Structure 1
Amino acid sequence: MKVAARAHVPPFAVMEILAAANARKAAGENVLNLCAGEPSTGASDVVRQRAIDLLTAGDLGYTESLGAPGMRAAIAGHYRNWYGIDVDPGRIAVTTGSSGAFMLAFLAAFDVGDRVALGVPGYPAYANILAALGCEVVTLPCGPETRYQPTVAQLEALTTPIDGLVVASPANPTGTMIDPAELAALAAWCGERGVRLVSDEIYHGITYDSSTPPTAASYRSQGAVVVNSFSKYWAMTGWRLGWLVLPDDLVSAVDALAGNVALCPPALAQHAGIAAFSPAGYAAARSNVERYAAARALLLERLPSLGWTRIAPADGAFYLYADISASGLDSITWCARLLEEAGVALTPGTDFDPVDGHRWVRLSFASSVEVVGEAVDRIVAWQSTL
């Protein structure tokens, strides 16, 4: 029988590394898993307790396709509190994680054959979802000269028009952020040319200075779409809960698509997730960021012993993206041997950059400083044997 051509997208290598690491753990080996972008703490106590209450006495029937009104109102309140902007709850779509948000946004915004640009290195699911939907992916190579982020100058240099641009700040795998003025310039450039800007903001809140990253939700008039999630800042990965902030022209399209594709997001996660916006929920998330900051500081301090001289600036998120080509190994071999010989799981850069990713690895420090410290000790010792 036929298998659709759209299904022939590359697998996510991090999941293969994760499966191998879990198999070794199940066999009794001491494995330190720093490959997945998953906070080790899990959901806060206030969210868990709300879920328990709902399971014993709550209504867990279908919600509206775009999400429960209480959740949409809570998200709108979050934008007032954090960014000082008013977002109509009617423009918010609650989704099954950010993955569901990207699927709905791309389906609503782009047709088969549309050309959508994105920076490389970057999260591979952007390109894979777009390709599965019949869009043409236009890659923008981003290195240290642009702080690993796309720029207006790169867009101006394109010889063929584009229909969309996907950006992420803080970004996966680099952790770099887009300067506020540059984000405004990107939004203006897109708005003037009818190019749909999609901004991945799932790592907002996980930054290491006192500033709050700007949100593309401020650029409603330019048609920008914002994607966010409870998975990273609120450490609710398995709850599969995310959201979109939509411009007016996409609301009805996403509503229709959401009702047909998923009917509604998970009801338990929605109703319990409202508690994440409580003072206790925010406090737990801030405590997690403090853990990441301690692990990040340790990593940066240990860079000389690691011998990693070329890294992306880890402005936010919880990743260190490092060039390991001086080892003489490609990143897939390097990661496979590190797991087998030292019991540490990292992700090869080929997931994020099909051209130069063989030189790079991604280390996730979304864990305790003790675990990250032991992993660094093992990597240093293992590298000395190469």
Structure 2
Amino acid sequence: MDVLSEANRREKAGEDIIHMEVGQPATPAPRAARERVAEAMAKERLGYTEALGLPALRERIARHLKERYGVSVGPERVVVTAGSSAGFVLTFLAILDHGDAFGLPSPGYPCYRQILKALGFQAHLIETGDQGRWMPCAADVRALARSGAAGLLLASPSNPTGTMANGLRLKELAEACEYEKLWLVSDEIYHGLEYDIAAETALAYSDVAIVVNSFSKYFSMTGWRVGWLVVPEAMTRTIERLAQNLYIAPPTVSQIAALGAFDGIEELEEIKDRYARSRALLLEELSRAGLSKILPADGAFYLYADVSHLTDDSAAFAKAMLHDIGIAATPGVDFDPDRGRSYLRLCYAGAESEMREAARRITAWLKAR
């Protein structure tokens, strides 16, 4: 956010800034979503919905899970939330007691640990590495159990690395969590944005896993703040009571837009194709420029670049990049307070033309250093 603030300040001053710092699509919500909202605005009152969300949307999400993954989940297990952020708050409050620790792979999305901290819980960081594609393993789950942690949060595809728990990894993690009687919370917010192998849902391997998802990324609806949970049926009432007190209900207009978004899949797939082209371009051009230590991202729209041969202070490096060539990127310390000083995250969700220009600027800048 500090990088974004400075980038916006420079942009207002007339500088040509390319935004690669914030993980959001450059495209609006799909046309079908916007049309559904326009119709509702003209005809409906748009009052509160049920705390768990519009029944029609809960049913449509359940259908989506069947269509995409082949898993059958009843709509009574689906909870509509005010974005995935509210989903994490509700989940942690429902399953943890004050002071409990929860396992988080590192590097990882920084808000996980900050939400835990704000709610009176503890983050138990699990150091992952590029050799394991930045993913935890079953041995990490066993270590969590020995430490007394209550569970594991897994993001696949991951922010910031874009890597996934492929093959047997997700199955092994789900089985290990169940064996150790730990909660498995699966962040699937970047599902739909995969480039070679389709992402799997934790629901395929566990009936007690909690899934967190959102319309923000694949559905290109970040500002609408609407997401969903899939929880064990026995937990639904607990989540409902929490949601009633904390949020009353998710935003009605956003839920209506979400219903429409499911009719925009063809448009969304075209957007994903643009991401794939930008990903391929950046991997090739940045490697030529000397940033060759990047695992080809399986999904999402990020590259997590090792810049240790250039700096041991990624925050200063990002600041210099913004100052010198107008490229806003996120320092790795956001995602890994220790090793992140040697990494930089680049988001390629912007326009293809901007990504080509970004590659040109970065290449010229690195060659001149």
Assess same fold via TM > 0.5.
yes
Match of 2:130 among 120, 141, 144: 144
TM superposition shift of 1:95 = 0.3
Q: Kindly tell me: are residues 361 and 216 of structure 1, through their superposed partners in 2, closer, same or farther at Cα, counting changes over 3 Å?
A: same
Which 4+ residue blocks in structure 1 deviate beyond 3 angstroms? none
Cα distance between partner residues in 1 of 2:210 and 2:194: 22
Which string of whole-angstrom CA distances, capped at 9 and with x for unpartnered residues, describes residues 73-102 of structure 1?
Answer: 110110111111111101100000010111
Task: Give, in angstroms, the shift of residue 316 of structure 1.
Answer: 0.5
Contact 1:224/1:246 (8 A) holds in 2: yes
Please report how far the alpha carbon of residue 300 of structure 1 lies from its aligned counterpart in structure 2 after TM superposition: 1.5
Name which of 32, 35, 53 aligns with 1:67. 53
Root-mean-square deviation over aligned CA pairs: 1.2
Deviations 1:113-165 (A, max 9, x none): 21211110000111111111121211111002211001102222454232110
Cα distance in 1 between the residues matched to 2:141 and 2:256: 41
Asked if 2 retains the 8 angstrom alpha-carbon contact of 1:199 and 1:224, the reply is yes
Alignment of 1:180-199 (within 5 A): 180-199=167-186
Distance in 1 between residues matched to 2:67 and 2:311, nearest whole Å: 49
Give the 5 Å matches for 1:260-271. Answer: 260-271=245-256
3-state SS of 2:25 partner: coil
AA at the equivalent of 1:357: G
The reply on whether 1:119 has 2:105 as its aligned counterpart is yes
1:37 aligns with 2:23: yes
Q: Is the 8 A contact 1:54 1:272 kept in 2?
A: no
Q: Is 2:33–2:256's contact at 8 Å kept on the other side of the alignment?
A: no
Aligned to 2:69: 83
TM (normalized to structure 1)? 0.93
- CA offset at residue 220 of structure 1? 4.4
Select which of 258, 277, 294 maps to 1:294: 277
Matched AA of 1:117: G
Q: Using a 3 Å threshold, how does the CA distance of structure 1 residues 65 and 181 change in structure 2: closer, same or farther?
A: same
Query: Residue 231 of structure 1 contacts residue 237 of structure 1 at CA under 8 Å; is this kept in 2?
Result: yes
Deviation at residue 35 of structure 1 after TM alignment? 0.6
1:367 and 2:350 correspond: yes
CA-CA distance at 1:20 after TM superposition: 0.9
Corresponding letter in the other structure for 1:43: A
Give CA deviations for 1:304-330 in whole Å, capped at 9, x if unaligned. Answer: 322012113311000000011211351
1:176 to 163, 168, 171: 163
113-122 or 254-263, which deviates more: 113-122
For residue 302 of structure 2, what is the aligned residue in structure 1? 319
Amino acid across the alignment from 1:112: H
C-alpha distance in structure 2 between counterparts of 1:334 and 1:144, whole Å: 21
How far off is 1:333 after superposition? Answer: 0.5
Q: Distance between the aligned counterparts of 1:242 and 1:217, measured in 2?
A: 17
1:148/1:312 contact within 8 Å kept: no
Deviations along 1:32-87, one digit per CA (max 9) or x if unpaired, are 11111010011011111111111111230100000000110110110111111111
Residue type of the alignment partner of 1:162:
A
CA contact (8 A) 2:164 2:298 kept: yes
Residues 275-354 of structure 1 mapped to structure 2, 5 A cutoff: 275-278=260-263, 281-354=264-337
Identity between Structure 1 and Structure 2 (%): 45
Number of residue pairs the alignment of both structures matches: 368
Secondary structure at the counterpart of residue 297 of structure 1:
helix
> Separation in 2 of the partners of 1:348 and 1:103?
26
